[in-house]
Amino acid sequence: MEIAFVGTGVMGKSMVVNLLKAGHAVTVYTRTKAKAEDLFALGASWADSPSAAVRGADAAISMVGYPNDVDEVWQGFLSAARPGCLLIDMTTSSPALARQLAAAATAKGCLPLDAPVSGGDRGAREGTMTIMVGGEAAAFEQARPLFEAMGKTISLQGGPGAGQLCKLANQIAIASGMVAMAEALAFARANQLDLEAVLKALSGGGASSWALLNLAPRVLKGDFAPGFYVKHFIKDIGLSLEVCRELKLSLPGLELAAKLYAEVQAAGDGDCGTQALARLYFSR
């Protein structure tokens, strides 16, 4: 397919690489062109705006930071996309915005999908991401080859916005898991245990989790580089709490994670990976 792709950050760049490897032609737009130079060396093309990127494309994908970024990019997509073009947002964004943009895209004859992902930088590199999709079944099937180039666990969750709601459920589970990982390491450290030995024991038993297997080893190496930014995780937690308020649903674990990650950001670690929560515990 001819694909327009907007947003080549920590995960987006690897997603473009995997689309190119699968034989698709990809035109990228990113605010800083120099950051995409390695993609051009692999065969990607450049466009100077989302609207220029989507012209003539079979599909357009956004993988940006925040809901307002999604809205801005999609205004460009909607202004120039041809009828029948797949419009896919893979950002973790607002379910309400996903429904709004889906209605606008459908009115223009396009095929909208909200398809946020999980798996971090490693999942993006290895093409093993989980992709949670909201939209019409026919559009989902048309987009399947693209999803299969980027991910391993791919599911249609329901109509417009359902992919975003599933991803928020995913982030709620991760939020509590991150707190559990940080507290377990902090407890072991306070008792002067060998953290490597503790991690090996926990990872092989009932306490094992994605955070322990993938992020705790980075913590022990002092590696707080972002596989997924703290600032973006705070955005996701906020979106989840917004839906909770609409439903009058109380989730104390999520509320605690929101408080703790606000402290991580206040400590200057907003651009670190989510494992920086452990550093907050270690500093106490």
* CA-to-CA separations, 221 to 44, 95, 109, in angstroms, rounded: 35, 37, 51
User: Can you give the pLDDT at residue 103?
Assistant: 98
Please give the pLDDT value at position 9: 86
Tell whether 231 and 144 lie within a shared domain. Answer: no
Tell me what pLDDT residue 34 has: 86
Reported as a single tens digit per residue, the pLDDT across 204-240 is 999 999 999 999 999 999 999 998 899 999 999 999 9
Distance between CA atoms of 217 and 236, rounded to whole angstroms? 24
Per-residue confidence (pLDDT) for residue 91, from 0 to 100: 97
Single-letter amino acid, residue 279 = R
Identify whether residues 132 and 8 lie together within a single domain.
Answer: yes
Asked whether residue 146 falls in the same domain as residue 177, the answer is no
The H or E element spanning position 117 is strand 117-118
Range of the domain at 170: 166-282
Number of domains in the chain: 2
**CATH for 79:** 3.40.50.720
pLDDT score at 257: 97
- 200 and 103 in a common domain: no
Q: What is the pLDDT of residue 135?
A: 98
Please identify every residue annotated as catalytic: 167
Among 134, 158, 182, residue at a domain's last position: 158
Which of 158, 188, 216 terminates a domain? The answer is 158
Q: Which pLDDT score is estimated for 251? A: 97
What sign does the dihedral 15-17-23-26 (CA atoms) show? positive
Same domain, 125 and 18: yes
Task: Show Cβ contacts of residue 195 under 8 Å, excluding neighbours closer than 6 positions.
Answer: 185, 188, 189, 220
Q: Could you tell me if 221 and 123 lie in one domain?
A: no
Q: Are residues 125 and 52 in the same domain?
A: yes
Are 105 and 190 found together in one domain? no
Question: Tell me, what's the pLDDT at 210?
Answer: 92
Q: What is the pLDDT of residues 260-281, one digit of tens each?
A: 999 999 999 999 999 999 999 9
The ranges of the chain with pLDDT < 70 are: none
Q: Residue 20 has what pLDDT?
A: 98
Same domain, 97 and 124: yes
The domain boundary, picked from 140, 158, 176, lies at 158
Which pLDDT does position 134 carry in this prediction?
98
Q: Using alpha carbons, select from 32, 49, 95 the residue that is nearest to residue 243.
A: 95
For position 257, which CATH number holds? 1.10.1040.10
The pLDDT score that the predictor gives to residue 215 is 96
Contacting residues for 125 by C-beta, under 8 A, at least 6 apart:
14, 17
Largest CA distance in the chain: 63
Reduced to 3 states, what is the DSSP secondary structure of residue 61? strand
Residues 151 and 171 in one domain: no
Domain match, 11 and 133 both? yes
What tokens does 58 get? Answer: 């079979």
